[in-house]
Structure 1
Amino acid sequence: MPQNALVTIRFGPYESSGLVEHRILRLQGLQAVLQADGHRCILEEITDWNTVELIVNGENIFHCNIKDLEFGGDGLLDPLCQAAREAVLKAY
């Protein structure tokens, strides 16, 4: 994947402290890893609970449970962030 690719991060709401809402705190590490590679990220809210999907060129290349991502941080030690990074690199 060339640098400066457009990656759409689609994410659904999840339950925390009794509230079900769309939150981006668990996406910070994922965004940091992708932006460090030179990619542009767009966040898009979806209705599917606990879901994260990465879309490149209209194709879903990666998905996971949002609760499995580490809360906050830079994503360097999160194995899911590294798997997502590799999926984006192999997207072409």
Structure 2
Amino acid sequence: MPKDAVVIVRYGPYSAVGLPVEYHRFRLEGLQAVLARDGHKVILEKIEDWNVVELMVNEEIIFHCNIKDLEFGI
């Protein structure tokens, strides 16, 4: 990834601990912190795809996973 990149974190809704399906950002906090600490600018963007997280740099998806695979605060 380029140094000091603008990273767009695209995330979809999911259900967590019995809460209704919504756009929760709890699982993204650790990811945001790591990217910011490395000097990247982070932009959060909601998408309609359920359970998805995608990282985009220069309009290219460089990573994607199920949002439920991310742990809280890590």
Alignment TM class, shorter chain as reference: over 0.9
If asked which structure has higher relative contact order (CA below 8 Å, sep 6+), I would say: 2
Q: Which amino acid counterpart does residue 27 of structure 1 have in structure 2?
A: L
Aligned equivalent of 1:56: 57
Aligned equivalent of 1:13: 13
Structure 2: 5+ residue runs without aligned partners? Answer: none
* Distance in 2 of aligned mates of 1:52 and 1:10: 6
* Distance in 1 of aligned mates of 2:34 and 2:45: 18
Aligned equivalent of 1:89: none
Matched residue count: 72
1:5 Cα deviation after fit:
1.1
**Aligned structure 1 segments of 4 or more residues deviating by more than 6 angstroms:** none
Aligned equivalent of 2:66: 65
Q: Which amino acid counterpart does residue 42 of structure 2 have in structure 1?
A: C
Counting helix residues as a fraction of each chain, which structure ranks higher? Answer: 1
Q: 3-state SS of the aligned residue for 1:49?
A: coil
Structure 1: 5+ residue runs without aligned partners? Answer: 76-92
Give the TM-score normalised by structure 1.
0.75
Aligned equivalent of 1:79: none
